[in-house]
Amino acid sequence: MADFRKKLKRCGPVSVFAASVLILAVLAGAGWLAFGPKQDFSAEENRVLETAPRFSPDAVLDGSFMQSAENFAGDQFPLRTRLVSLSTSIQLLFGKRDLASDYSKAPAEGGVYFGKNGHLYEVLLPDRTGTFRKNSDALKGFSKKTGISLYLLPVPSGSQEQPANLPDHAPNHNQREELEALRSGAGAGTKVVDVFDVLSLEKTGRDFYFRTDHHWNTDGAYEGYRALMGAMGVPCTPQSAFGYRAVSEPFYGTLYSKAIFPGQRADAMRLPFSKKSAPITQQTGAAIRRGIYWEEYLTQKDKYSVYLGGNPPVTVVRNPSAKDGKLLILKDSFANSMVPYLSTNFSEIHLIDLRYYNQDIYKYIKQNGITKAAAVYSIKQLCDVSIANKLA
């Protein structure tokens, strides 16, 4: 004890003060984690936060307890959102343009590029898990199993379509590889719809993607709709037949949520509606509601869920005044913003999200008399999430 006192006396007041501040900060942080209020969900990051870890001998032995404790401390740390925003600002100040990535993982996780003109982009990496190949094979086998032609619309990412806006020398996987893989071996019953040139900023001079979100914007969704209708031989409703309502609240999407930056420009959303009024309804389970817009989401962070209320496993949109019968769409969220346009053509649109649908898809097709089918997926989603087992 005497030796400790001697060493303490030799320390200058500045060192003692700094050590005291550090100890108090550690104790304050520990106290906050133990007794402070906890959040289950981060609206800014649009994700569920880690909850307090549960102790068990097995969890300690396999390392999951410490991993959970580390995630919990990171997610529930006081002023976390402000510190994340500060970290992003500092990294950008020092010239870093690829944030929120983790290349140490196997497979590696791409982050977010801070591009030109206020654009954020997904960093595209090749699929190293085989997920895309399995999904591709399953989709190409759909027509043979059902006897129904499948119109497959693979949607490229914004970083694929706007390479000139990426940071200088930024590596980016070419998604045309996936497009060609989908075309290869596709039978007569599978038609792959190519929208790469249609959505290209270089070829069209138009921006079809949100700045802060990975989805295409309202105009991009219309171009996808027009290409799909052309492939199916269905007359497309002209864009002049729609009006557009501007959403008053700014929109910050999924890419912003990965790399929060206080200087980021928000997106503006516009919701299309047909100038010819029609009694459109949406059925999800037993519940039926008028229209396809869930206005309550416009006051929340996840404004893109204004379309259809998000991604229910199955939902049916009906327009009795439309003339082209029934259409099944296997889809991810990119298809949601196409529905305002598609509903002018089809009296029934059966939208099934295979990520969450756990019933027999082929039985559903027979029971509902489906004779037309399309699949609308972002290429990145086909690389990241398996749907092949749902089509087996």
For 106-117, what is each residue's pLDDT tens digit? 767 789 999 999
Name the region of 307 (left: φ>0; alpha: ψ -120 to 50; beta: rest): beta
- Higher confidence at residue 18 or residue 256? 256
CB atoms within 10 A of CB 185: 11
CA distance 83 to 75: 11
pLDDT value of residue 9: 59
DSSP H/E element including 303? none
The amino acid at 248: S
CA distance 271 to 260: 25
- pLDDT greater than 60 at residue 225: yes
What are the distances in angstroms from CA 298 to CA 69, 250, 257, 265? 35, 9, 17, 18
For residue 107, whether the previous peptide bond is cis, meaning omega lies within 30 degrees of 0, is yes
CA distance 219 to 272: 10
How high is the mean pLDDT of the chain? 85
pLDDT value of residue 285: 92
Backbone angles phi, psi at 267, to 5 degrees: -90, 155
Binned at pLDDT 50, 70 and 90, residue 218 comes out as: very high
Binned at pLDDT 50, 70 and 90, residue 277 comes out as: confident
Question: Running DSSP on this structure, what letter comes out for residue 301?
Answer: S
CA distance 384 to 172: 16
In terms of pTM, does the model score above 0.85?
A: no
309: three-class secondary structure by DSSP:
coil
